[in-house]
Structures are given as C-alpha cells and as structure tokens.
Amino acid sequence: MSFFRFVMCILLVVMAASPAFADEEMVYGPNLLRGNPAVSRYLENDRGIPRYVEGQLSVQPAAKGSEITAAMAYFEANRGAYKMAQPAEELTVSRVSQDDLGMTHVRLRQIYRDIPVIGAELIVHFTPAGELKTVNGAYHPDINLDVTPSVDAAHASEAADIDLRSFFGAGTPQTPELVVFPWEGKYFLAWRTFLISDTPMGRWEYFIDAKTGQVIYKANRIMNANDIGTGYGVMGTARDHIDTDYNGSLYQMIDKTRRAANNPHGHNGQMPSGNDIRTNITTTSLPGTLATDADNVWDVTATQRPAVDGQVYTGLVYDWWLTQFNRNGYNGSGASMLTVVNYSAEGDNNAYWDGSRIVIWSWSSGWRSLAGCPDVIAHEWGHAVTENCSNLIYEKEPGALNESFSDMMGAAFEWAYPDYDTPDWAMGENGRTTGVPFRSMSEPHTYSDPDYYGTTDPYWVDVVGCSPSYYNDYCGVHTNSGVGNKWFFLLSDGGTHHSVTVTGIGPADAIKIAYRANAEYWTSSTDYHEAALATISAANDLDPTGAWANQVYLAWNAVGVSTPGADLVFSYPDGIPTSLTPAVAKTIEVVITGTLGGTLVAGSPTIYYSLNGGAYSSSAMTQLTTIRYRATLPAAECLDRYDFYFSADEATTGTHFDGDSAAAYFAMAAENTTTILTDNFNTDKGWTVSGDATAGTWQRGIPAG
C-alpha cells in the first residue's frame, strides 16, 4: 500500500509543478547549461538556478578589456537557466580584477529597479587566454516589490538606534542604504544601516522595513575568536626585532618599514606613504593610546608584553600576505593595521576584528593575553581579509566558513613562522596557562565541534529553520567551522577520515588554495558545497596538473561535503532483467559513459551478485567497445533469486557504483510470470479503506492542471 501512495504523490507533484516550469521556459527560454557536455561541473539551488557552472563556457576567447561584455553575453545566452529577464538591467559591475596568474574575474551585483539585492552576486572567471571557464554565485529571479519607501532614511536610523539602546547601548548610525533584503523566503524593501559603538563594542547591522519601519533583522558584525626595539612577549620569549618609531622623546609602536620603497624585511613593502602598523594599549575605552617606551626595551610584563606580540605578529602577518599571496594588506591596498591590547570594559579572554582594527581583551586568572597566540592574531586579521574579499555573511554556513577560513589563516601562519611558536593544529593554546586550546582542527570532536557535514555528526548545529541571533552564535558559526577546519587539516597533513584517504599537500599550499577561493570565487552567501567547488577551481588554477584539485576533492568528500565532479553514468540498452530462464546464464548489456569530465578506466567494470541472500561474488564484465560491456549472471534453478549491482572506476575519482548490497537490483528464475493486477489510478476501481488507515487517506483527487 505504501508503494501506491508514493506513486500517487509523485504523480501529483509532477502534474502540479510541470506547468509552472513550462511557463518559465516560454518566458525565459530553456536551461542550456543543465546536461550540456561542455559543462564539467554544475550545481543549482532548490529553485533550479545555477550556483556553480564550470567548463568550456565561451565559443571564442574574450579579448583583453572586453571581459565585461563577454560576461553579459553569457547571461544573455543563458537567460533560461537563470530565469533572468534583462541581464543588462539586472546586473551591475562591482569589481573587475586580474590576479597574479593572469586570470580576470568580473564580479556582478544584482539590482532590482536600480536597488541592490543583498547577498546576490555573480562572478565570471576568464582564463589568461580569455576563455570563460567558471560562473558562480547567487541570483534571485522572482522579486516583485514596490520600491517606493514609506519610511525615510532618517526614521530608519532612528528606529535602529532606539532598538539598539533597548538591549545593548548607544551607537553612532552610519548613512542608510535602500536595498532589497531576501529574508526567510520573502523579499523586503529595506533600509540597511550600521551602528558603531566602542563600549560595549558593537558594529550592529540593521535592516529596517522601508514600508513599516519595523526591524526585520539585526546582527553584531564584530567577528571574534575567540628604530628596532627589543623586549619580551606574552610567553616570556625574547623578541629581538620590534619595529618602532622615535618621536624625539619616546619610542612608539609605529612601524613604517612596510611602506613602499622600504626593504628592511626583504620583500619591498607596498603600504602607501602615511600608512603604518601600530599597537595601542588601553583599559576600558577604545581605541586606547599608542604604546610608548623610554628606552625601546619593552619589558614591563603586565602591560607591554601583549603589545610586543601584537606588533610583531601583525607585522609578520603583513609580510606573509605579501610574499605568499601577493596581497598588500588586508584590503589589498596597504591599509594601516591597528592592534589594541588589554581591553577590559567587556570581560576577559577574547579577541575581535571590528571592521577597522583587532582588539585583544585583558586576561583572567589561569589565562594569558591572547596577543601571545600567533594563530589568534592571524585569525582576527583573517576576518579582515574575508571582509575585503568575499565578505561572507556572518551566519549559518557562510558564517561557519568565515570562521573556518580565519582558523586556516591562523594555523598556516604558525606553520609559516615556526621559530616564533611551535606550529600545531590547536587554536589559541597559548591563551590558557594549561595549554588547552579553544578548538582543534585535526580533531574537532575533542572540543564539541563537528568534523563531518550535516546532522549525522552529533555536534553539527542544524541551520535549517534556525533564525540567526546574537544568542545562538548566528546559528553555530564557531561550531560548524569544524567541518572546514577538518577539511583544511586533511588537505594539509593528509589522513583517512570516514574511509576516504587524502594525501596532504602541506599547509603552505593548502592556504594558497583557500585564500584564492576566498579572494576570487566565494561570494557573501557561499555555503560549504559552493566553497568546495570554488576550492577545486582555485586548485586547478594554481596547479594545472590536477593533482592538488584531486586532493581538495577527496578532503571535502572525507568531511561529508559532496562535490559533483568527474563521474560515470550506467545505462542498460536492453533493460535490467527481473526474471531469468532457469538453468541458463543471463547476460546484461551495460553502457558506461563519463560525465562532468569523467573517464572510464578500461577493464574495471564489474558485476556483483548474491544467490538467495548468500555472500556476494564478483566477476569482471566482458568489454565489447570502449564504453559497452557485457555482464553475466550464472545459471540459476527455478525460483532462485539473484541480487546484483555494478561498479566501474573513473580515472581520477575512483570506483563508482550503480547500486550496492543494501539497494541491489534483483531477478528470479521462473518459467513465466503472471500479472495479478494493473492499476494506473486513472479510473476508480473501488479501493476501500481498511486496516490502520484513517478516513480520507485514500481519497481520490484531481490534481490542479
């Protein structure tokens, strides 16, 4: 009975949904990307809109300087896939960049009647030869709003200010922006504004309904973690090179050596004139005052040691970005970098990036200043990089990815500078006097973080139906980061996890992949699945042999983030038998083709079979052509039953199965079969309710349309 109910439900869904999709095709045209042999990777959302497309996406290369035109031509040609009415009116260029590999990246922002749509961004990627190879990001096709606000910007700022004062404290409102805000399945015309405060520290983002003046959503966007001077750092380690500046009477923690035309660190700094790296010391107010010393020997334990480490590590982070990623500071343009230490107005044992500086709090009994943790310093500056690259939204999966990327930055920084602190996969272990860290990237479960994607992991915070707030860590951003952390550890060090074996490529190369994905491929709404595809693309950019990309792919699969890639498709020209002739072997024709760039390994196709529930046996199929094989089931006696399934190897992604021992095909040996009943459910044959079914369970209905 459950089978019939399932069939009826499927028929209802198909009959009800098909006309809508048919109408959309009439308006926009068909989706030419889905199933296109030129597309090697394809991912779409539950609305059917492409989120990630990769392959040979252009007929001819774009000339240098014409990439914007080529990008718009792509969307015009694929209006049906994106359900996009007028690409030229719905997309505006937000940035065009060329990276150090010679690739060009065109970032486009969706607008609705000239108003930006929050979180809707598309990126079009061109190879150095001008070939359009990848398009990724989010687009909203079904917005229908009146864009005339009933509430003006001033009243929206006032509403946000009143709300913030009611539970947090006063903030300074920034100029509001009119936006389209997608939220919980609806679209709102909204005023977006930020309110900044120092004590308590806040950078609150508000979306105020431009029709009603009500608060739609709010969130504190502060991102937390947890002359040459000499001195001592938090851990008591001597620092023999602290970049400072003498003002005629005092030495100040101002580092001008990273400016252009300076080369004391061997890398030709690129900060513009007037910018610098500096460290402030404070107590209960921000930004505090510049750290100073009379003799340039920074050895006052309680106050100066955190400043020593803050200054030294921040300078090294700048050097590392420049030499490893060719990145001039967190914003790519050499912005000044301010570290504030010993902040005590809101508690202890924490650290923040607040949009313009990093702030290290004071410490309590059993703790040290987190300035003594190089991974924490790099983690916080990692948030600054993310804000100026993908700007991942700090909630749900994008927020977890945001936190995870900062942990990647922190760990990789330690491995890059082993002389300053012993590199490891523990985060913030120097903070506690016991050496206990906040998180473990190698073993996330140790600190109640997931190491596998989704609710099968006992520590995963389910983001489905979760409404992000300050009180639930915006749906577990610090917890679910464990999945990305485990991925990065496996990619760096290698290992076997959930039966998937990864060969590590080292943290120095792993962070190059993660950084490139963040800088060039991720958007503000990227989730784990899109992030995985982006890192595969980034790996292929950096290593055209595909060796890195394969390990990236395996590492994501090991943590439960499936990545559509090279695959095999099984088909059966003569069908799959359900009955067998007794005492006669049965042959089955099998055609195995590659998809998404997949390549069948010759001679690998295999059939597995079990007789009457016994142990499975296997035998190689007979090759007929490059893609056509013949499988054989041995002869069976009358009423014997065979369960069977198939496998074949793909050149890069290993063994692929059609079926398995838990979901096998089956066939029985018999002289003939008799059909007892056939019912297509188009006519009423008098079915009645019986057993445990309640009234109405089997009522016949006519689907709409």
Q: Which residues are catalytic?
A: 380, 478
- The count of other CB atoms within 10 Å of the CB of residue 633 is 20
CA distance 417 to 472: 35
Listed in sequence order, the residues at least 6 apart from 454 whose beta carbon sits closer than 8 Å to its beta carbon are 460, 560
- CB-count burial class (<10 Å; 0-12, 13-18, 19+) for 382: buried
CA distance 415 to 320: 11
Encoded tokens for 482: 């464990």
Q: Is 240 helix (H, G, I), strand (E, B) or coil?
A: strand
CA distance 604 to 619: 10
Listed in sequence order, the residues at least 6 apart from 423 whose beta carbon sits closer than 8 Å to its beta carbon are 411, 414, 415
CB burial of 598-627 (b: ≥16 within 10 Å; e: otherwise) equals bebeeebbbbbbbbeeeeeeeeebeeeeeb
- The count of other CB atoms within 10 Å of the CB of residue 89 is 12
CB burial of 61-87 (b: ≥16 within 10 Å; e: otherwise) equals ebeeeebbebbbbbbebbbbbbbbeeb
CA distance 424 to 426: 6
CA distance 188 to 395: 19
CA distance 184 to 141: 16
Encoded tokens for 100: 């150090």
Residue type at 102 in one-letter notation: G
- CB-count burial class (<10 Å; 0-12, 13-18, 19+) for 441: buried
CA distance 403 to 380: 9
Which of 548, 546, 522 is CA-nearest to residue 599? Answer: 546
Residue type at 507 in one-letter notation: P
Encoded tokens for 426: 């523990």
